[in-house]
Amino acid sequence: MIKKVWEQNDSKKGGRSVWEEWFVHMILEMLLHGTPPTCTSYLDWCVGTVVAIISELARKVRIKWDVECLRTDDPIHTVDKLLKLQWNPVKAKKGAWREYLVK
């Protein structure tokens, strides 16, 4: 289904794009880079909710992160790119994302 959304991103449905219809309010996981106080860097899947589309053309969205994923100094909201090539990859790296199906 997500592949179809990428192909139809310019279509409008009731004034809203298909892309906006699909992604706003989506709960997703994104593989993020972190550095704890021990200075050992790591990658971890964090859960967040897409709250707004910033740019459909650039694939930028505003994400509100689940407080259980955040450390003390982490922002609650960030602007991130949802790149097609990073959606649910076989070999995940920083910036990979997927729909969160458990909750």
Q: Mean pLDDT in the chain?
A: 81
So where are the chain's domains?
25-99
Backbone angles phi, psi at 54, to 5 degrees: -90, -45
**What pLDDT score was predicted for residue 52?**
93
**What pLDDT score was predicted for residue 26?**
92
7, pLDDT greater than 70: no
**What pLDDT score was predicted for residue 12?**
53
Distance CA 2, CA 39 (A): 37
**Residue pLDDT, tens place only, 47-96:** 999 999 999 888 899 999 999 888 778 899 999 999 989 999 999 898 99
Is the CA virtual torsion 69, 73, 77, 80 positive or negative?
A: negative
